[in-house]
Amino acid sequence: MKLLFQTFLCGVFSVNFAQASQYKWKEFSFKMDVPSTWQSANDFMGVPLTLFAPMMSGTDRRVVVQVMPTQAKPLVFNDKEMKAFDKNYAARRKKWIQKRNGKLKEIESVKIDIVGGQKAFVAGSTYNWVLRNFKEKTYYLNCGKTLYHLKLVGDPAKKDELDKAEKVLRSFRCE
């Protein structure tokens, strides 16, 4: 994979981004703008593509972005589907965190947003698990006949790092 690097100034620091990184997983293909300092892994713990931000200063944690093509049918973006999706998302998050003996702190209701020129359902949650706090943001969008699930997870106290990761996630483009 050939990466072209360009530097963007972000406030008082610079972040290097690899422009238009091409990713393939089986028959799925897409592009994302990923900082050159990030690492990637294919099929990490069953996830087709996982992107790892550098370790956050003063901690042993890092923000993670995951890209997962699904076998689910593409979404229809209307109010009826969004309400059903919102109810389902909230129930799944509650069940997931309870199963792991964690504590759900907040659920962000599903909204429709634009990611990479595509409509997406976007939702989020904040929870405590194994004595650590996590902020998760999840996106579902269609690329042709494939529904993609994109997710970022990180420390809610590190807003700047989460914002950088969201920029990476939102750079997702269908191929």
pLDDT over 60 (residue 8): no
Domain of residue 114: give its range.
Answer: 4-174
pLDDT over 90 (residue 43): no
pLDDT over 70 (residue 49): yes
**What CATH number is associated with residue 106?**
3.40.1000.10
Instruction: Record the tokens describing residue 15, joined without a space.
Output: 């972040």
Domain count, the chain: 1
Note the pLDDT of residue 99: 94
Q: If you average pLDDT over every residue of the chain, what do you get?
A: 82
Report residue 115's pLDDT band, with 50, 70 and 90 as the boundaries. very high
What is the arithmetic mean of pLDDT over 11-31?
54
Across 12-21, 80-89, 119-128, the highest mean pLDDT is recorded for 119-128
Report residue 5's pLDDT band, with 50, 70 and 90 as the boundaries. very low
Burial class (CB in 10 A: 0-12, 13-18, 19+), 101: exposed
Burial class (CB in 10 A: 0-12, 13-18, 19+), 171: middle
Report residue 19's pLDDT band, with 50, 70 and 90 as the boundaries. very low
Residue 38 neighbours by CB under 8 Å, 6+ apart: 51, 52, 53, 54, 168
pLDDT over 60 (residue 3): no
pTM above 0.85, yes or no: no
Looking at residue 60, the DSSP 8-state letter turns out to be: S
For residue range 69-110, list pLDDT tens digits in order. 998 898 888 889 888 888 999 999 999 999 999 999 999 999
Note the pLDDT of residue 1: 30
Note the pLDDT of residue 17: 42
Report residue 40's pLDDT band, with 50, 70 and 90 as the boundaries. confident
Question: In terms of DSSP H, where are the helices of the chain?
Answer: 79-99, 159-170
